[in-house]
Structure 1
Amino acid sequence: MVPTGAYGTWPSPIDARVAATHDGRPDFVGVVGDEVWWTEPRPAEGGRRALVRRLPDGTEQPLLPAPWNVRSRVVEYGGQPWAGAVGAGGTGPLVVFSHFPDQRLYRYEPDGGSDPVPLTPLSGVGGGLRWVDPVIHPARGEVWCVLEEYTGPGPGDVRRVVAAVPLDGSAAEDRDAVRELTDDHHRFVTGPRLSPDGRRAAWLAWDHPRMPWDGTVVMTADVTADGVLTGARVVAGGPREAVCQVDWAPDGSLLFVSDAGGWWELQRMKPGAEPAGLCTGRAEEFGGPLWKVGLKWFQPLDDGTIAVIHGKGATSLGILDPETGELVDAPGPWTEWAATLTGHGSRVIGVAASPRSGYEVVELDTSTGRTRVVGSAHDDSVDPAYYPEPQIRTFTGPDNREIHAHIYPPHNPDRIAPDDELPPYVVWAHGGPTGHVPLVLDLAIAYFTSRGIGVAEVNYGGSTGYGRSYRERLREQWGVVDVEDCAAVAEALAAEGTADPARLAIRGGSAGGWTAAASLAATDVYACGTLLYPVLDLTKWADETHDFESRYLESLIGPPEDVPGRYRERAPLAGVDRISAPFLLLQGLDDVICLPAQSERFLTAMAGRGIPHAYIAFEGEGHGFRRADTVTRALEAELSLYVQVFGITRHDVPPLELRK
Structure 2
Amino acid sequence: MAKQQLASYGAWASPLSADKVVQAATGLGSPKWDGESLYWLESRPHEAGRIAIVKRLPDGREIDCLPIPFNARSRVHEYGGGAYAVKNDVVYFVNFSDQCIYRVRFAGEEPLPPESVTQPSALRFGDLFIAEDVIFGVVEDHGTSGEPVNSLAVVRLADGRVDIVASGHDFYAYPRLSADGRRLAYIAWDHPNMPWNGTYLYVADWDGEKLANAQRIAGGREESIFQPEWSPRGQLFYVSDKTNWWNLYAWDAGGTRAVAPRDVEFGRPLWQLGSSTYAFIDHSHIVATYVENGFGRLCEIDVDTGTLTDIETAFTGFDDLFADGAGGVFCVAMSTRRPAVIAKVYGKSVDTVKFGPSAALSDDWIAEPEAIVFPTTGGEVAYGFYYPPTNPQYVAPASERPPLLVMSHGGPTSAARPVYKLSIQYWTTRGFGVLDVNYGGSTGYGRKYRERLAGQWGIVDLDDCCQGALYLVERGDVDRDRLCITGGSAGGYTTLAVLAFRDLFRVGASHYGVSDLALLAKETHKFESRYIEQLVGRYPEERERFVARSPLQHVDQFACPVIFFQGEDDKVVPPNQAELMVEALKRKGVPVAYLLFPGEGHGFRKAENAKRALEAQLFFFGAILNFTPADPIDPVPIENWSK
Q: Provide the TM-score with structure 2 as the length reference.
A: 0.96
Aligned residues: 634
From 107, 131, 136, the equivalent of 2:130 is 136
1:344–1:78 Cα change, 3 Å: same
Match for residue 150 of structure 1 among 142, 150, 153: 142
Deviation, 1:345, is 1.2
Which SS does the other structure have where 1:623 is aligned? coil
Aligned-pair CA distance for 1:378? 5.1
Alignment partners' CA distance in 1, 2:24 and 2:354: 15
Partner of 2:565: 586
List per-residue Cα deviations over 1:467-521 (Å, max 9, x = no partner): 0000000000000000000000111111221111110010000000000000000
Name the structure 1 match of 2:284.
304
Tell whether 2:478 aligns with 1:476: no
Match of 1:164 among 144, 150, 154: 154
The within-5 A match list for 1:350-499 is: 350-366=331-347, 369-377=348-356, 379-499=358-478
For 1:286, the equivalent position in structure 2 comes to 266
Answer yes or no: is 1:295 the counterpart of 2:275: yes
2:118 aligned partner: 120
- Unpaired stretches in structure 1, ≥5 consecutive residues: 87-92, 172-176
Letter in 2 for 1:148: E
In structure 1, give the amino acid aligned to 2:346: D
Question: Equivalents in 2 of 1:215, 1:63: separation in Å?
Answer: 38
> Could you tell me how far 1:114 is from its partner in structure 2?
2.9
- The letter for the 2-side match of 1:325 is G
Q: Which amino acid aligns with 2:287?
A: A
CA distance in 2, matches of 1:294, 1:19: 28
Contact kept in structure 2, 1:27 and 1:340, CA below 8 Å: no
CA positional deviation for 1:161:
1.4
More deviation in 289-298 or 144-153? 144-153
Distance in 1 separating the partners of 2:518 and 2:561: 25
Aligned mates of 1:383, 1:306 — CA distance in 2: 35
The answer to whether residue 76 in structure 2 is matched with residue 94 in structure 1 is no
**Residue aligned with 1:27, SS:** strand
Q: Is the 8 A contact 2:279 2:321 kept in 1?
A: no
Task: State the partner residue of 2:256.
Answer: 275
Q: Could you tell me whether the CA contact under 8 Å between 2:618 and 2:629 is conserved in 1?
A: no
Look up the equivalent residue of 2:266 and give its one-letter code: F
Give the deviation of 1:359 after TM superposition: 1.2
Secondary structure of 2:255's aligned partner: coil
CA distance in 2 between partners of 1:216 and 1:238 (Å) = 6
Distance of 1:294 and 1:396 partners within structure 2: 36
Alpha-carbon distance in structure 2 between the residues aligned to 1:22 and 1:650: 22
Aligned CA distance change for structure 1 residues 248 and 511 (closer, same or farther; 3 Å):
same
Contact 1:132 1:191 (C-alpha < 8 Å) held by counterparts: no
SS across alignment from 1:337? strand
Q: Is the CA contact 2:26–2:356 (under 8 Å) kept in the aligned structure 1?
A: no
Matches within 5 A, 1:538-557: 538-557=517-536
Q: Retained in 1: the 8 A contact 2:123–2:143? A: no
Amino acid at match of 1:178: V
Matched, 1:250 2:223: no
Moved more, 376-385 or 483-492: 376-385
Query: Which deviates more from structure 2 when the two are superposed, residues 472-481 or residues 594-603?
Result: 594-603
| Cα distance in structure 2, aligned partners of 1:330 and 1:109 | 37
Structure 2 counterpart of 1:49: 51
How many Å separate the matches in 2 of 1:456 and 1:443? Answer: 14
State the 1:466 CA deviation. Answer: 0.2
Are the aligned partners of 2:619 and 2:629 in contact in 1 as well (CA < 8 Å)?
A: no
**1:185 matched residue in structure 2:** 168
SS at match of 1:301: strand
Three-state SS of the structure 2 residue aligned to 1:469 is helix
Q: Is the 1:330–1:364 Cα contact (8 Å) retained in structure 2?
A: no
Residues 339, 571 of structure 1: alpha-carbon distance in 2 compared, 3 angstrom cutoff: farther
Secondary structure at the aligned position of 1:76 is classed as coil
CA distance in 1, matches of 2:486, 2:106: 43
Deviations 1:247-285 (A, max 9, x none): 1111211111000000000001122x22111011x2110
Conservation of the 8 A alpha-carbon contact between 2:339 and 2:359: no
Give, in whole Å, the separation in 2 of the partners of 1:533 and 1:80.
Answer: 25
Percentage of matched positions with identical amino acids: 38
> In 2, distance between residues paired with 1:376 and 1:106?
28
> 1:90 aligns to what?
none
1:605 corresponds to which of 584, 597, 601: 584
SS of the aligned residue for 2:120 comes to: coil
1:211 maps to 194
Q: What is aligned with 1:527?
A: 506
Task: Give the Å deviation of 1:354.
Answer: 0.8
Question: 1:268 is aligned with what amino acid?
Answer: A
